[in-house]
């Protein structure tokens, strides 16, 4: 242990360096969340209650579906490429096989979606056939977009990864802006942004792959995966960690999207749009927090891998500092909401809905608890507890959905209270894991490893 590591204040200096890194990363990754927020603000201002609610249902259905279908292959591709490049092994075989799997999943979705065209159109999308075809087209387009994300992450080109997401969010919002400026009009014009966005994000791919090919060492036989003893690439390879991260991602989708979908099923699309806007109090800060979460994991991983007393102190100080920052932000937001919450919501999303101050405050508290849970989740992953953490996420998400299925009381208040209670329970569970770590050695991420990359990718991906 060096003198520098033991000097007083070394842990604090390390935590400050992490804070600067997180802040710089937030400018790029967090921008996608801000632009997405403007997409919904513009849509809410320029559509009536029913049309906006249908748009929200479309959005929720698209991103729950692509998360289920494409995230496993994206994570597996990013991990395998990173591992092979670290050992100087060819990646063409894994890329080809991952592309085959991703294409098969997209084809399977197309077959199922066409077979269920009637129920999806009539029951989910209020009989709007245009939204049905946008749903199908968007899910199919995201198969290529998520494949590109996995490739960029595996080759550690995070700038291109961020640019891809930025292109996607800008393209989507451009359609809502065109309606706001009177260039075009209507729900379909805005919804087209959801299907065009993944195609626009792929504009970075030809340039990126072209540079990759030009840098490929001469004489390498990329198609032979047996060289150098490289393991066969299958969907099951490294599935334990990937499955746990996927459970966490799906649970996040349940927290943020189950409410609007359930309200749409039991009440109306307009009601779904209302509760979606209320939950934006939690969604918008979470989008920005993903940048912090993306840098928090490698920071904590490096501190844990050092095995020094100073590293452990810096680890805990980083967690405490982040939690205090979340508490301060949530407290400030609660003060603003208490003073002018309903008025600010109508400025942001239009005056089609009347917002309840108490409900907004409840969701604000839930937002703070949810961000605390997200922080503690990164600590748990860094400690090798991703599988225990995934159980906590799944249990709390299931409890949240089950609570909302109880036919009692006001449905909006039920979702608001349920979100906050489930977020609080999740934070408590993850705090217990953080304070009583019993991780599996194989789940402890090594600095710059494929395991760390996979979890880092999962944190950044939500900003899209």
What would the DSSP string read from start to end of 121-181?
A: IIIISTT-HHHHHHHHHHHHHHHHHHHHHHHHHHTT-HHHHHHHHHHHHHHHHHHHHHHHT
pLDDT of residue 6: 45
pLDDT of residue 226: 43
pLDDT of residue 401: 92
Residue 19: partners with Cβ closer than 8 Å, 6 or more residues away: 321
* 30-47 per-residue burial string, b: 16 or more CB within 10 A, e: under 16: bbbbebbbbbbbbbbbbb
Residue 224: partners with Cβ closer than 8 Å, 6 or more residues away: 90, 93
> What does the alpha-carbon distance between residue 365 and residue 356 come to, in Å, rounded to a whole number?
15
Q: Tell me phi and psi for residue 389, to 5 degrees.
A: -65, -40
pLDDT of residue 108: 94
pLDDT of residue 114: 96
Could you give the 3-state DSSP secondary structure of residue 352?
A: coil
The residue to which tokens 């959801």 are assigned = 194
End-to-end CA distance of the chain: 41
> What does the alpha-carbon distance between residue 89 and residue 83 come to, in Å, rounded to a whole number?
8
Chain centre to alpha carbon of residue 8: 38
> What does the alpha-carbon distance between residue 79 and residue 241 come to, in Å, rounded to a whole number?
10
> What does the alpha-carbon distance between residue 167 and residue 32 come to, in Å, rounded to a whole number?
9
What is the reported pTM? 0.74
pLDDT of residue 449: 59
pLDDT of residue 52: 92
Among 248, 250, 141, CA closest to 200: 141
Q: Check: CB of residue 194 under 8 Å from CB of residue 172.
A: yes
Q: Over its length of 464 residues, how does the chain's per-residue pLDDT go in tens digits?
A: 444 444 445 545 544 554 454 444 455 666 777 888 889 999 999 999 899 999 999 998 998 888 888 877 777 777 777 767 766 777 777 788 888 888 998 999 999 999 999 999 998 898 999 999 999 999 999 999 888 888 887 777 777 777 888 888 899 999 999 999 999 999 999 999 999 999 998 888 776 665 554 454 444 444 444 444 445 555 555 556 667 877 888 888 888 888 888 888 888 888 888 998 888 887 777 766 766 666 666 667 667 665 556 667 888 888 888 899 889 989 998 999 999 989 989 888 888 888 899 999 999 999 999 999 988 988 887 787 888 999 999 999 999 999 988 887 788 999 999 999 999 999 999 999 988 887 666 555 555 555 555 555 555 555 45
pLDDT of residue 456: 57
Tokens of 386: 């991703």
């Amino acid at each position: 242990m060096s003198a520098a590591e033991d000097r007083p204040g070394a842990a604090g200096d390390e935590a400050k360096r992490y804070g600067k890194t997180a802040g710089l990363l937030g400018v790029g990754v967090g921008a996608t969340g801000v632009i997405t927020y403007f997409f919904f603000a513009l849509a809410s201002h320029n559509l009536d209650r029913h049309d906006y609610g249908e748009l929200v249902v479309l959005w929720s259905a698209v991103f729950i579906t692509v998360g289920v279908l494409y995230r496993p292959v994206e994570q597996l591709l990013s991990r395998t490429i990173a591992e092979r490049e670290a050992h100087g092994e060819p990646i063409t075989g894994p890329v080809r096989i991952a592309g085959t799997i991703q294409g098969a999943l997209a084809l399977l979705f197309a077959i199922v979606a066409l077979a269920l065209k009637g129920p999806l159109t009539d029951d989910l999308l209020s009989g709007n056939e245009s939204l049905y075809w946008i749903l199908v087209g968007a899910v199919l387009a995201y198969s290529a977009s998520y494949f590109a994300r996995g490739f960029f992450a595996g080759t550690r080109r995070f700038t291109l990864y961020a640019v891809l997401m930025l292109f996607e969010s800008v393209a989507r919002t451009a359609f809502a802006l065109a309606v706001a400026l009177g260039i075009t009009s209507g729900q379909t014009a805005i919804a087209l942004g959801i299907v065009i966005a993944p195609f626009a994000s792929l504009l970075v791919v030809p340039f990126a792959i072209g540079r990759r090919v030009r840098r490929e060492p001469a004489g390498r036989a990329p198609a032979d995966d047996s060289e150098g003893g490289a393991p066969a690439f299958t969907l099951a390879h490294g599935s334990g960690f990937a499955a746990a991260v996927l459970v966490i991602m799906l649970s996040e989708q349940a927290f943020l999207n189950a409410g609007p979908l359930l309200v749409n099923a039991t009440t109306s699309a307009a009601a779904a749009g209302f509760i979606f806007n209320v939950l934006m109090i939690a969604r918008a800060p979470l989008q920005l927090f993903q940048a912090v979460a993306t840098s928090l994991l490698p920071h904590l991983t490096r501190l844990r891998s050092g095995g020094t007393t100073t590293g452990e102190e810096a680890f805990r100080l980083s967690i405490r500092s982040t939690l205090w920052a979340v508490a301060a932000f949530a407290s400030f937001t609660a003060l603003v909401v208490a003073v002018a919450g309903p008025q600010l919501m109508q400025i942001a999303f239009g005056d089609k809905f009347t917002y309840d101050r108490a409900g907004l405050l409840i969701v604000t508290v839930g937002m703070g608890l949810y961000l605390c849970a997200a922080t503690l989740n990164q600590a748990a992953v860094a400690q090798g507890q991703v599988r225990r953490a995934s159980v906590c996420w799944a249990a709390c998400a299931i409890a949240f959905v089950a609570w909302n299925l109880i036919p009692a009381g006001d449905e909006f208040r039920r979702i608001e209270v349920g979100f906050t209670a489930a977020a609080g329970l999740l934070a408590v569970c993850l705090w217990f894991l953080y304070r009583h770590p019993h991780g599996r050695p194989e789940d402890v991420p090594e600095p710059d490893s494929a395991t760390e990359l996979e979890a880092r990718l999962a944190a950044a991906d939500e900003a899209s």
